[in-house]
């Protein structure tokens, strides 16, 4: 039986054990007010509840991806109308990073539409990492699958985070992607972690998965050897021409419940309210922040999708009394853990 007091602690219900799907389901299905209270209590115990991490995302290589991810505008398998581009020049990436820093972003995320990076591209990728770090920003890359050798090279360059989402549950994964397996995803996460790079891994809601699939995805992440330091939760943006172009929208309350469960299962992780914010009301976003989301992408574009503009985000932050989070390297973990 679930020890309900355990949901306000860092650990699963039994010390030293992993989270069990049945227990996570019980937490998810708590009365909404009880779930939000517990999630916010966990959040407040580990973070400043009014500080939001500001990240900027840039597509450094767009379109033409060999993967068949059913949600993606960049897959070469679907007639989405997106043209493939070559890898961006390093100088342009650094110029965009400088603009992002001037706009208040502390983390710069760079994404390439690849199954995996080729050796000929690694020198430029490394130069982007070292250049962005030299600007005083945290760095994050998402480049598809990585080998141990590629992971080590990025770690040597100083890469702070690597994003590689599991997308959904292992059960439902094959319904969305067939060109690589769920195990392939986990292998890349292990390679990255073993190289000493922090992990950014989350998923997408609204692809036709069940509520249990969403819960199972979060349990998988929470039960990794170390939970991801960053957990992006995306709401599907149906892309015309993609396989999921006609997917029905997710219920907003179900989305907030998922954010709350992510916070409870992974207390010390940054939970990022990611793609789909253009279709969220201010009130829905406010509930997500209360439930434990404490990271967003700023700027008008996420890779190829729209994102709320900075003016809108600034106005929302002002209404809610929120502030940008300090750069992690400047903010000792003890200060965050002690935040009340």
By annotation, the residues acting in catalysis are 65, 69, 72, 109, 140, 200, 272
Tokens of 298: 């700023």
What residue has token string 């997308």?
Answer: 167
Tokens of 199: 């992990």
Give CB contacts under 8 A, 24+ apart, made by 20-25.
20/219, 21/212, 21/215, 21/216, 21/219, 24/215, 24/218, 24/219, 24/261, 24/265, 25/212, 25/215
Q: Which of 283, 220, 295, 254 is nearest to 35 (CA)?
A: 254
230-235 and 270-273: which strand pairing?
Answer: parallel
3-state DSSP call for residue 239? coil
Q: Where are the alpha helices (DSSP H) in 276-327?
A: 282-291, 310-320
3-state DSSP call for residue 38? helix
Q: What contacts 23, CB < 8 A, 6 or more positions away?
A: 2, 12, 13
């Amino acid at each position: 039986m679930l020890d309900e007091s355990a949901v306000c602690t860092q650990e699963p219900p039994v010390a030293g054990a992993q989270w069990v799907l049945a227990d996570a389901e019980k937490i998810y299905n708590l009365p909404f007010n009880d779930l939000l209270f517990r999630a916010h209590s966990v959040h407040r115990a580990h973070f400043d509840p009014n500080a939001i991490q500001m990240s900027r995302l840039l597509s450094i290589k767009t379109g033409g991806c060999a993967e068949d991810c059913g949600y993606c505008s960049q897959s070469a398998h679907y007639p989405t109308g997106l043209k493939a581009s070559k890898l961006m020049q390093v100088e342009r990436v650094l110029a965009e990073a400088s603009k992002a820093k001037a706009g208040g972003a502390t983390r710069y995320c760079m994404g390439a539409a690849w199954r995996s990076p080729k050796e000929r591209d690694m020198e430029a990728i490394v130069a982007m990492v070292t250049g962005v770090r030299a600007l005083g920003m945290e760095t994050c890359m998402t480049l598809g699958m990585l080998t141990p050798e590629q992971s080590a090279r990025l770690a040597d360059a100083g890469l702070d985070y690597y994003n590689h989402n599991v997308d959904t549950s292992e059960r439902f994964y094959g319904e969305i992607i067939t060109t690589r397996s769920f195990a392939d995803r986990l292998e890349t996460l292990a390679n990255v972690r073993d190289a000493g790079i922090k992990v950014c891994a989350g998923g997408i809601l609204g692809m036709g998965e069940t509520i249990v699939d969403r819960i199972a995805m979060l349990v998988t992440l929470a039960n990794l050897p170390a939970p991801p330091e960053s957990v992006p939760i995306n709401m599907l943006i149906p892309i015309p021409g993609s396989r999921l172009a006609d997917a029905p929208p997710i219920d907003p309350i179900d989305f907030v419940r998922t954010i709350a469960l992510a916070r409870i299962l992974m207390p010390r992780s940054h939970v990022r309210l990611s793609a789909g914010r253009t279709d969220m009301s201010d009130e829905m976003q406010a509930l997500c922040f209360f439930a434990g989301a404490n990271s967003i992408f700023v700027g008008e574009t996420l890779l190829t999708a729209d994102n709320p503009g900075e003016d809108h985000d600034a106005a929302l932050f002002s209404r809610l009394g929120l502030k940008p989070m300090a750069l992690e390297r400047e903010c000792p973990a003890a200060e965050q853990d002690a935040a009340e």
